[in-house]
Amino acid sequence: MRSPHKLLILAAVAVSTTWLSGCIFGSDNSGPSAEETKKSNDAATRATGDLESNVARMQNGPYSYGKEDLTALKNSNSQFAEAVRLNPGNSKAQLGLAVTGVLLAAQSPKLSTVINQTVEGQSPFEPKLTEDAPLKRMAVLQKVAVAAQTWPEFHAVQDSIAQVLLPALEEAITHLQVAYDDPNFT
C-alpha cells in the first residue's frame, strides 16, 4: 500500500506534466498566422467579387425567389466561411458571410413561397420596393380584400419567419457584430 504523501507527489507530478505538455504542445492563442491571414483575405476578396457579380445579376434580370441559380451565391458564402475559419477577425469575411446567409435564407423554399406571394417576386435590390412603400401598402391591402385566398396562411408566414428568416438574421447579427467591433473596418 502506498503512503498518502507518495500519492500526493504522484498526483502533483501528473498534473504538472499535463500542464507543461499543454504549454509546450498546446494551441497557440496568438491568433492566425500570416499565411492564414493572407489566405483568409484572398478568399474574402474572391468571394466579394463573386457576390458583386451575383447581386448585379439579381438587379438586372427577372427575379423569382426560390427559383434563382444559387451556385454563385453558395460559392461566395462558402468562400466567406472559409475566410472566417482561417481568420475569425476578418471583418470583410464576417460581413460577407452575414449578407450571403440572409440572401440564401430568402431563397429557401419555405420563405420564398411566402415572399413570392406577398411582394410579387421583386428583387430585394429593386429601389421602387422601398420608395413606393406607402403605395405598395395600399395596393397590398386592396389585394388582400380582393384575393385573400391566394395569400399564404398566416401560420405559413409565421413558420417561415421563425424557422428560416430569424435563424439567418441571428447568424448575420453575430457576424455583423464582429465587423462592428473592429475599429479598423470601414
Whole-model pTM: value is 0.64
Q: Which amino acid is at 4?
A: P
Q: Which amino acid is at 132?
A: D
pLDDT for 117 equals 66
DSSP-derived secondary structure for 7-35 = HHHHHHHHHHHHHHHHHHHS--TT---HH
pLDDT for 22 equals 44
pLDDT for 82 equals 96
**Rounded mean pLDDT for each run of 10 residues along the chain, 186 residues in total:** 44 43 50 92 92 80 69 90 95 92 83 68 57 64 59 76 89 92 88
pLDDT for 109 equals 79
